[in-house]
């Protein structure tokens, strides 16, 4: 298994420096990671640094809590596309899920997905599986599966509980094969990353990417 090809090399701390982004991109080139996932402020810089490489540039929308107004999320999406982003990781409105307001969530995705599609970009939906019930996760699969998003992503990394094998298995069971799964949140070892891939994840979002690749090299 080429673990690097599954990894979104992630740098989303609120104190991120330009030097951190430059290092993140250098590591992505060196290890051939699938993507870097960086704050919106640095998308233009990352696009320039990763030009003529296979590594994609991803950024976040509505991060990390998801309760930004729909119009604000649309604006974030548009600006990221203008800046040259390849992939968008969108935090849905978790408060709406907890209030059982699925109509709001439908309105949210119906406003954002067409913008992404017009730009020919990839959309990953972050559902924060660690704080949802199984029933809520299944309802997310139904809603976003019907919408036709590209990925459902487990977590932001900011909730108390991140990715789990059980959540990935549940997502895989209730999604069509066309929709991929990104596991993220608390993934720090090659063993755990491989378990998540075996459970159905096709992307791994982590900041311990270099450590994971080095562990993989030692074990294989």
Point out the catalytic residue in the list 8, 86, 89, 150. Answer: 89
- The 10 Å Cβ neighbour count of residue 100 is 11
Point out the catalytic residue in the list 56, 124, 139, 182. Answer: 182
List the beta strands (DSSP E) in 85-140.
Answer: 87-91, 122-126
Q: Is 182 a catalytic residue?
A: yes
Q: Say how far apart CA 35 and CA 78 lie, in whole Å.
A: 20
Sign of the Cα torsion 73, 38, 4, 216 reads: negative
Q: Is 161 a catalytic residue?
A: no
- The 10 Å Cβ neighbour count of residue 216 is 18
Planar angle of CA 158, 186, 126, nearest 5 degrees: 50
Point out the catalytic residue in the list 56, 121, 153, 194. Answer: 153
| Residues carrying an active site annotation | 89, 153, 182
């Amino acid at each position: 298994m080429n673990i690097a090809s599954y990894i979104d090399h992630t740098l989303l701390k609120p104190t991120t420096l330009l030097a951190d982004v430059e290092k993140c991109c250098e590591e992505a080139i060196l290890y051939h990671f699938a993507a870097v996932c960086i704050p919106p402020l640095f998308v233009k810089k990352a696009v320039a640094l990763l030009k003529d490489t296979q590594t994609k540039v991803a950024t976040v929308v509505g991060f990390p809590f998801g309760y930004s107004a729909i119009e604000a999320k649309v604006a974030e999406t548009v600006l990221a596309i203008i800046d040259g982003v390849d992939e968008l990781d969108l935090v849905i409105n978790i408060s709406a899920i907890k209030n059982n307001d699925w109509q709001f969530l439908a309105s949210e995705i119906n406003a954002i997905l067409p913008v992404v599609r017009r730009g020919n970009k990839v959309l990953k939906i972050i559902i924060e599986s660690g704080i949802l019930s199984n029933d809520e996760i299944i309802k997310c699969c139904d809603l976003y599966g019907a919408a036709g998003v590209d990925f459902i992503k487990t977590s932001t990394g900011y909730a108390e509980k991140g990715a789990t094998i059980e959540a990935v298995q549940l997502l895989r069971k209730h999604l069509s094969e066309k929709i991929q799964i990104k596991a993220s949140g608390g993934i720090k070892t090659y063993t755990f990353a491989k378990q998540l891939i075996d459970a159905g994840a096709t992307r791994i979002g982590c900041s311990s990417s270099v450590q994971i690749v080095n562990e993989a090299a030692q074990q294989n």
